[in-house]
Amino acid sequence: IENRDRKTLRDLCQDLHNADLADLIEQLDQERRTQLIQLLGRDFDFAVLTEVDDTVREQILEALPVAAVAAGLRDLDSDDAVYILEDLADQEQEEILARIPEFVRVRLRRSLDYPEETAGRRMQSDVIAVPPFWDVGRTIDYMRESDDLPDEFYELIVVDPSFRPVGTVPLNRLLRTKRPVRIDEIMDTPIRTIRGDLDQEEAARIFERYNLVSAAIVDDSNRLVGVIHHDDIIDVIEEEAEEDIRGLVGLGDEEISDNFLYTARSRFPWLFINLWTAMLAASVIGLFDESLEKMVALAVLMPIVASMGGNAGTQTMTVTVRALATRELGGFNKRRIFWRELLVALLNGVTLAILIGIIAALWFSNAELGGVIGAALVFNLLVAGSAGFVVPVLLDRFGADPAVASSVFLTTVTDVVGFFAFLGLATLLLL
Amino acid sequence: IENRDRKTLRDLCQDLHNADLADLIEQLDQERRTQLIQLLGRDFDFAVLTEVDDTVREQILEALPVAAVAAGLRDLDSDDAVYILEDLADQEQEEILARIPEFVRVRLRRSLDYPEETAGRRMQSDVIAVPPFWDVGRTIDYMRESDDLPDEFYELIVVDPSFRPVGTVPLNRLLRTKRPVRIDEIMDTPIRTIRGDLDQEEAARIFERYNLVSAAIVDDSNRLVGVIHHDDIIDVIEEEAEEDIRGLVGLGDEEISDNFLYTARSRFPWLFINLWTAMLAASVIGLFDESLEKMVALAVLMPIVASMGGNAGTQTMTVTVRALATRELGGFNKRRIFWRELLVALLNGVTLAILIGIIAALWFSNAELGGVIGAALVFNLLVAGSAGFVVPVLLDRFGADPAVASSVFLTTVTDVVGFFAFLGLATLLLL
């Protein structure tokens, strides 16, 4: 298809939804991607680029001439344009912005001035705002006459003379109200505005909590600067959940389309840190080399204690990390949850200890060995339960992201304590 | 506040948004919760119950008289009513349904007939559907006159005479079009309908992919039965991401408000399974007890090989599980990703092997031991990389949820292979 047959290509792509065209582009090789976009020319909707993954997008933008990118971005909704621009280097951003008409440029810059991952970055700057004293008829006439309205909106934002939002009117209510009724009689108050510099994750929590379809974004002095829609929020929620999952196992921001060199490099730091923590655990074992020489059963059993501690601790840690992320864990229930986790650890620890104690005693025909491994297991599970709770809570308090750093700390603790408790107890009691 | 002062209470709660009132209810003890709801009587909006967590909701519903629950549910949107009903036992459901007016009951039953976690369960049955031959004016008049429209909607669904959806009209377009224009001239086609029995996660992918604000739900013969909104989809996405995270560490559907007994019981099965896999790994070590007796350094170093394999494998597994869940991994790129994971494992494996080899050689003044641990590490990382990819892909193909079961398999593989490769090589080459 790709052999310069513009017309057929255009017809084919016209029928595709952006998301489907994006999939198609991802599956082409790099050269073909640029060819396709250039062949489509003005018929290529740059909104498609918001649907391909980051790595592919960067490649495409680098390959296209600056003028083509600028022309493509000019017609986009401002949130899509910002989404595409934000990953570019500063210099390229400037070159592209320079070729965009001034009134669009000003808006894009205002979004780009907000830090990454804030609500301001995700907002759309074309907003429909009406004063409270208009009536329904005038509002509808205004909407019919103006040409530059955004494609999608679900609510009107009502603003006072200094452009501060005072309420919202869902479109369906506007439709169902008679023309002479004043806007301020049908608007919903109080309005839930979101500050542009609010973290996008916090903004998502507000949407979720109040089931919003869109929300007004305001600046420091509470003036309306944009609006953020449900579909952007869905993307944010997906991204943030993804980040939590990745953080737990030390993955960076890799994408499925990255090559192996990039992937290997992004995963290495985590493995490197884990190498040292594993070494630390090994050196704890090294302290007991004489005991191990005397009783090789200890070497056989010791990984069980460490690994059970790791598993139980990870369960507690995961619950805690997610509860912190979704703001379910606050000052008022911290103490209760901590005690619950200790009780859970004790209960499961004792049950599993009895089980493993019996098995170990039978396996090595040594009842005392069974007692020792049982005791070590209970102890390690208690430590794992506390650490699984305390580590993320402390990291959160000191401003670190608990999802990323918790599990290194945690497995170090459970390994070191597991080996030390089991080998130490055995040395004291059995040898 | 709780001492029977109805009026003050009512005034206080009236100003609260449902989500805030829900938080308040969660923080009360069980007795107070029921008291509060009963005192509020008809002023209590049962939609609040959709915002409290599952455990709390069940307690409240059990404590309230059936008649009160039925009265409360009658006025709710059907998706909220179903959400509250679905967790109840069949018998209680029937008792409540029996007290609800027939036309509402029929709708609720239709939703409840769909299996759990399908789009049909989440749909709202009050839909606004118009025929394509109406004009804009007639449509607006119809909407002004009918009283029983749902509170929130963002699009009209256009249906043919047999009630099959043929297109949608966003409200903002309706507002901006002149009254004599026919609906079928302004509607968006083709319409993306969702079958009621589609898994809710699949439905969420469709929303996300096409940035929808609502979608028509159809039955087997493609007739319109309801509509599903963005806010329900946001909840679904949150839940499914949560499920993936929990699955990776063997957590069930516990909630932060559960008591320790319930929590301990829900976490036990995972730990129990892990006990047996740890035992399996231990018995592999047991095979080499003579080697360990001769050379205690092996016992010190062996956990390093196993734990590095576990970490690297978990990274690959997590990427694979998420890519399967978000449908980024399909037939066309499976082979490529598999090879990439192997290359990543090789690259990081060799780098880490050199490092650990040198350290081990220096630590125990034994160059050959360094070589052995390095070789075992490379081998285990290669196995971990393959298993981290293959295990979730196979589980997915056989219809199991890869998020839940993958990590048990994986850590068993990396432990067993890690111990076996290291101790086996050492026995062959060093002793």
| Structural domains in chain A, sorted by start | 6-113 (1.25.60.10), 129-248 (3.10.580.10), 260-430 (1.10.357.20)
Binary contact (A301, B282; C-beta < 8 A): yes
Least Cα separation, residue B189 to chain A (angstroms): 11
Residue with tokens 């759309």: A124
C-alpha distance from residue A303 to each of B135, B267, B280, B405, B430 (Å): 74, 21, 11, 22, 23
**Contact status, residue A136 vs residue B137, Cβ threshold 8 Å:** no
Contacts of B292 in chain A (CB under 8 A): 292, 296, 299-300
Pick from B261, B406, B263: which is nearest to B253 by CA? B263
Nearest to B307 by CA among A408, A355, A354: A408
SS3 A214: strand
Amino acid at B374: G
Q: Please tell me if residue A347 touches chain B, with a CB cutoff of 8 Å.
A: yes
pLDDT band at B210 (very low <50, low <70, confident <90, very high): confident
Q: How far apart are CA B337 and CA A257, in angstroms?
A: 8
**Cα gap B240→B119, rounded to integer Å:** 13
Distance CA(B299)–CA(A283), nearest Å, equals: 11
* B98 vs A: CB within 8 A: no
Tokens of A325: 């992320």
The rounded mean pLDDT for chain B is: 87
Q: What is the predicted pLDDT for the residue at B408?
A: 83
Interface of A with B in 22-61 (CB under 8 A): 27, 51
Q: Which residues of chain B does A300 touch, with a Cβ-Cβ cutoff of 8 Å?
A: 282-283, 285-286, 289, 292
Question: Cβ distance A133 to A194 under 8 Å?
Answer: no
Of B175, B274, B296, the CB nearest to A175: B175
Chain A residues whose beta carbon lies within 8 Å of the beta carbon of residue B333 = 256
When CB atoms are compared, the residue of B17, B208, B278 closest to A210 is: B17
Task: Provide the token pair at B217.
Answer: 């739900």
Token pair in block for residue B173:
């377009």
Q: Please report the pLDDT score of residue A15 as a whole number.
A: 75
| Phi, psi (degrees; rounded to nearest 5) at B15 | -80, -15
pLDDT in tens, B104-149: 888 888 888 899 889 999 898 888 889 999 999 999 888 888 777 7
- How high is the pLDDT of residue A2? 57
Length of chain B in terms of residues written: 431
**Cβ contacts of B389 within 8 Å, gap of 6 or more:** B316, B317, B320, B337, B338, B341
Check whether the bond before A132 is cis (ω within 30° of 0).
no
Q: Which helix (H) or strand (E) covers residue B216, if one does?
A: strand B214-218
Output the CA–CA distances (angstroms, integers) from residue A203 to A200, A214, B399, in the order listed.
Answer: 5, 11, 36
| B371 neighbors B377 (Cβ within 8 angstroms) | no
**Quick check: helix, strand or coil at residue A419?**
helix
Measure in Å the smallest separation between the Cα of B101 and chain A Cα atoms: 27
**CB of A389 less than 8 A from some CB of B:** no
CA distances, B89 to each of B49, B55, B132, B261 (Å): 17, 14, 43, 22
Which stretches within B255-401 are classed as H helix? 260-287, 289-294, 297-325, 331-363, 367-397
User: Cβ contact (<8 Å) for B319 and A254?
Assistant: yes
The partner residues of A214 in beta bridges, in order of sequence, read A229
CB-CB contact of A158 with A171 (8 Å): no
Question: Considering CB atoms only, which of B19, B251, B322 is closest to A315?
Answer: B251
Nearest to A153 by CA among A170, A175, A177: A170
Which of B267, B300, B411 is the closest to A348 by Cβ?
Answer: B267
Strand partners, B195: B218
CA-angle at B281, arms to B279 and B285, nearest 5°? 110
Cβ-based contacts of A261 with chain B (< 8 Å) = 347
Number of Cα atoms under 13 Å in the Cβ half of residue B359:
18
DSSP state at residue B135: B
B290-305: average pLDDT? 93
Type of residue numbered A401: D
Please give the interface size between A and B, counted as residue pairs whose CB atoms are below 8 Å apart.
290
Confidence at residue A382, expressed as pLDDT on a 0 to 100 scale: 96
Chain B: residue whose CA lies nearest to A174: B175
Q: Which helix (H) or strand (E) holds B228?
A: strand B224-229
3-state secondary structure of B2: coil
Measure the CA–CA gap between B430 and B101, rounded to whole angstroms.
Answer: 82
Q: Could you report the per-residue pLDDT of B221-240, keeping only the tens digit for each?
A: 999 999 999 888 888 888 88
State the smallest CA–CA distance between residue A160 and chain B in angstroms: 23
Query: How many Å apart are CA A53 and CA A51, to the nearest integer?
Result: 7
Q: How confident is the model at residue B344 (pLDDT cuts 50, 70, 90)?
A: very high
Q: Is B56 helix (H, G, I), strand (E, B) or coil?
A: helix
Contacts of B338 (CB under 8 A, 6+ apart): B386, B389, B390
A207 has a chain B CB within 8 A of its CB: yes
B322 close contact with A: CB closer than 8 A: yes
Measure in Å the smallest separation between the Cα of A91 and chain B Cα atoms: 31
Query: What residues have CB less than 8 Å from B60, skipping those under 6 apart?
Result: B25, B33, B34, B37, B49, B52
pLDDT band at B261 (very low <50, low <70, confident <90, very high): confident
Task: Say which residue, A415 or B331, is predicted with more confidence.
Answer: A415
Beta bridge partners of A188: A168
Do A255 and A410 touch, CB atoms closer than 8 A? no
**Distance between terminal CA atoms of chain A?**
78
Report CA dihedral (A340, B251, B55, B51) to the nearest 10 degrees: 110
Residues from chain B contacting residue A328 (CB–CB below 8 Å)? 256
CB burial of residue B6 (10 Å; 0-12, 13-18, 19+)? exposed
If we measure between CA atoms, which residue out of B238, B227, B239 comes closest to residue B77? Answer: B227
pLDDT score of A194: 93
Q: Which of A212, A260, A274 sits opposite B308 (nearest CB)?
A: A274
Taking 50 as the pLDDT cut, the residues of chain A under it are none
Q: How far is A15 from chain B (nearest CA, A)?
A: 10
* Cβ contacts of A233 on chain B, cutoff 8 Å: 234
What is the mean pLDDT of the segment spanning B361-370?
Answer: 94
d(CA A376, CA A218): 56
ipTM of model: 0.78
Report CB contact under 8 Å: B304, A275.
yes
Please tell me whether residue A328 adopts helix, strand or coil conformation.
coil
Give A 268-287 residues with CB within 8 A of chain B.
Answer: 268, 270-272, 274-275, 278-279, 281-283, 285-286
User: Distance between CA B426 and CA A40 in Å, rounded?
Assistant: 62
> What is the rounded CA–CA span in Å between residue A298 and residue A292?
6
Mutation target vs B (from A209, A280, A296, A337; most B CBs, 10 A cutoff): A296
Position A243 scores a pLDDT of 80
Is the minimum CB–CB distance between B137 and chain A shorter than 8 Å? Answer: no
Residue B124 has what DSSP assignment?
B
A317, A324 Cβ separation under 8 angstroms: no
* Closest C-alpha among B153, B127, B312 to residue A173: B153
For residue B110, the distance in angstroms to the closest alpha carbon of chain A comes to: 24
Burial track A347-369 (b if 16+ CB lie within 10 A, e otherwise): bbbeebbebbbebbbebbeeeeb
Which is it for strands B224-229 and A165-170: parallel, antiparallel or unpaired? unpaired
Give CA separation, A380 vs A313, B419, B429, in Å: 9, 22, 35
Do the Cβ atoms of A285 and B301 come closer than 8 Å?
no
- Residues of chain B contacting A76 with CB distance shorter than 8 Å: none
CA distance A143 to A135: 13
Whole-number pLDDT of residue B257: 76
Q: What burial class does residue A323 get, using C-beta atoms within 10 Å of its C-beta: 0-12 exposed, 13-18 middle, 19+ buried?
A: buried
Give the Cα separation of B275 and A49 in Å (integer).
Answer: 48
Cis peptide before B190 (omega within 30 of 0): yes
The verdict on a CB contact (< 8 Å) between B171 and A171 is yes
pLDDT confidence tier of residue B370, bands split at 50, 70 and 90: very high
pLDDT at residue B314 is higher than 60: yes
CB contacts under 8 A, B 144-163 vs A, are 144, 149, 152-154
Listed residue (B423, B13, B223, B69) closest to A300, CA to CA = B423
Strands A129-130, A155-159: pairing is: parallel
Whether chain B has a CB inside 8 Å of the CB on A231: the answer is yes
pLDDT at A1: 57
Please give the backbone phi and psi of residue B131, each rounded to the nearest 5 degrees, phi first.
-80, 155
Q: Report pLDDT for B277.
A: 92
Of A170, A242, A300, the CB nearest to B322: A242
**In this structure, are residues A6 and A39 in contact, taking their beta carbons and an 8 Å threshold?**
yes
Query: Looking at the partner chain, which of B178, B275, B303 has a beta carbon nearest the beta carbon of A308?
Result: B275
Res. B4 pLDDT band, cuts 50 70 90: low
Q: How many CB atoms lie within 10 A of CB A220?
A: 8
According to the model, what pLDDT value does residue B369 have?
A: 95
What does B310-333 look like in DSSP terms, one character per residue? Answer: HHHHHHHHHHHHHHHHTT---HHH
Q: How many residues does chain A have?
A: 431
**Model confidence at B386: pLDDT above 90:** yes
Residue B25 near residue B36, CB atoms below 8 Å = yes
CB neighbours of residue B54 within 10 Å: 13
- Contact status, residue B206 vs residue B122, Cβ threshold 8 Å: no
